[in-house]
Chains A and B, each alone.
Chain A
């Protein structure tokens, strides 16, 4: 399975190299630059606009303790609290890495497309992703529901909410947080996704007290938490 994924990755990567856009995020099959100031959650509640940092090279070990060690390592200042803007840069191991605002055309965010489009590595990497969700009123007993390829750790408003370990494929609502309250205004969702090899992506949405997707919320990357 992994071997097939790698073959597919090579083919897609070749295609991506000839479709770069002149500005902003490279044109990829699923990742595009936002064209609007805000974006509502999709019909099924998926959060489809994110700020994603260019990948950081890591060991790619995916067991619980290895992922914990990878994610807890300090790569750049305020990595657990920073709310970046499109184009911001950080320096990791002496290398500048940029944050990119992206929209996904699918329910999931294809990190392989993202990284390959930037001619960045896709294996043995760590991705940081942040999004800002504007909620019209307090929502109690909500849950953050995510899927990721591969392991990932997620924070909601600064508190760890979900973690998934080991090599895995993205499954909708794979990791679901305990009950949380979404506060009226802007809520910050932050993720660290560790990939070993092959495809890598994630999906995320918020669920209500009856485990139904929350819609009627808006992603506003320009807002201030």
Chain B
């Protein structure tokens, strides 16, 4: 975090410096992130299944291990008998009033088992905390075309049925139906459905009539040489067939790329859906190697977008200078000061030619090409702006200084799933966007770090953004930046159904 903040402060960046989460995020094979009460929880591979917890989804810390509450600190004997006593790659989901935690218990692969633990809460400090061993759910005997590790749980919203996918390279990714009451197999004698091959870390999600199988191809555990990538296919039925974007069946090795290595992060795997409601979806994964953390394996959370019926991996907001454009109006947020045309006011008179008019010639009748017009920035203009708090407003974007905003992550101010809070300031100045006590917005002359000056910026499913102050003075409910008028911004409770609350972050 410190490194990335330093980089962000180094310049008004136009480059996409995206950083991983803050805190103790070193982990491998993370589960789906689940919120219980006011906290987020994630479980991962390791001795006793390590638990990590976060109050805000940005800063994480270790919170012991699952098996610490189990007799002997290890999987139950029936699970060990079918597989082994390792504890890898769990997944967790709340079904009804119970949490089902499935975990891998491999012996010598592909002999392995997936065990089930049942609990009432994820909070280790709760008096109701504790896990009950429900035994093995599925297993592989070491010879068959399956390696029963890497569970992924899916609760079908269309009918309430519960499903488990599992498998890792030795043969197939398999699907079995579970009993939502017990978490065990609904029909243990039914043959598992093969849905993919030569992959691991599978999980199913659903959207608008399609079942999507997300899984991981490539090799893990080789640091910066890990070839892990997250792949996808979709089907009209939960049992498949799952075809990738090219129509290749995932049972025959298909799988379109969802997320590969990029930036400072190598080898993503173990997709998990984090649905925050209000149309805001994110996904979790781990990267095999984070170059900013010495190539260690880390948890990450990124926006989940949808395009043409397929999931798309978004990027968390990068520090830089942007124009903030309303999806509804097409106008851009600006400090409410009298703008000056770039290049200075034009001379009156005829069309074409002249400074700022973009004429095809110099207007002097010779062949001299027009001179470039320098960009306008706050250093040129800010001395003429009134002091003190000013309004913000919307206007056609004209490349003017008061229309360019610097987005800068704020250290030690907390965050939200995937990102720290941001400061939004007129580029090159300390003038910062802030919520006001009457539920409106203003531009304060300085940045103090107050909650009303800290902004949460979530990318939405269509790629646009929601901007929300961390707090609105005197109000308990959260509010989002709204283009309520073509020239007028305000704050309103977020409504995913209106373009008023959607913004584009564009290069200035």
Contacts and interface: CB of A to CB of B under 8 A. Distances in A.
Contact of A174 (B338, B440, B487, B492): B487
B488 interface: yes
A63 interface: yes
Contacts of A173: 484-486
A178 B487 contact: no
Given A65-B338, A211-B500, A175 B440 contact: no
B439 interface: yes
B265 interface: no
Contacts of B486: 147, 171, 173-175
Given A176-B490, A178-B440, A178-B490, A64 B338 contact: yes
A179 B438 contact: yes
Contacts of B487: 164, 174-176
Interface in B130-188: none
A211 B338 contact: no
A174 B489 CA distance: 10
A211 B499 CA distance: 13
A132 to B, nearest CB: 23
A186 interface: no
Contacts of B490: 176, 178-179
Interface string A25-64: 0000000000000000000000000000000000000011
A145 interface: yes
B338 A176 contact: no
B438 A176 contact: no
Nearest to B336: A64
Nearest to A173: B485
A143 B492 CA distance: 13
A176 B491 CA distance: 12
A176 B440 CA distance: 12
A176 B329 CA distance: 13
Nearest to B482: A211
Interface in A148-175: 162, 164-166, 171, 173-175
B439 A179 contact: yes
A17 B321 CA distance: 54
A207 B490 CA distance: 13
Interface in A174-225: 174-179, 207, 211
A145 B338 CA distance: 22
Nearest to B484: A176
Contact of B492 (A65, A165, A171, A211): A211
Nearest to A174: B486
Contacts of B337: 64
Interface residues of A, number: 20
B440 A162 contact: no
A211 B500 CA distance: 10
A164 B484 CA distance: 15
A65 B385 CA distance: 12
Interface in B282-296: none
Contacts of A63: 338
Interface string B473-500: 0000000000011111010100000001
A165 B500 CA distance: 22
A173 B500 CA distance: 12
A222 B500 CA distance: 38
Nearest to B398: A166
Contacts of A147: 486
Most buried by B among A65, A147, A164: A164
A153 B391 CA distance: 15
Contact of B488 (A64, A65, A162, A166): A162
A211 B491 CA distance: 12
A147 B440 CA distance: 20
A207 B484 CA distance: 10
A166 to B, nearest CB: 8
A175 B438 CA distance: 18
Nearest to B345: A63
Contacts of A143: 484
A178 B485 CA distance: 11
Contacts of B395: 166
Interface string B328-359: 00000000011000000000000000000000
Most buried by A among B438, B485, B488, B500: B485
A164 B394 CA distance: 10
Contacts of B484: 143, 173, 176, 207, 211
B154 to A, nearest CB: 37
Interface in B451-508: 484-488, 490, 492, 500
A207 to B, nearest CB: 8
B438 A178 contact: yes
Given A64-B338, A65-B338, A211-B500, A179 B440 contact: yes
Interface in A114-156: 143, 145, 147
6 contacts: A164-B487, A174-B486, A174-B487, A174-B488, A175-B486, A179-B440
Given A174-B487, A176-B487, A211-B492, 17 more contacts: A143-B484, A145-B485, A147-B486, A162-B488, A164-B487, A173-B486, A175-B485, A175-B487, A176-B484, A176-B485, A176-B488, A178-B438, A178-B440, A179-B438, A179-B440, A179-B490, A207-B484
10 closest pairs, A vs B, by CB? Answer: A176-B485, A176-B488, A64-B338, A174-B486, A176-B484, A173-B485, A171-B486, A178-B440, A175-B487, A174-B487
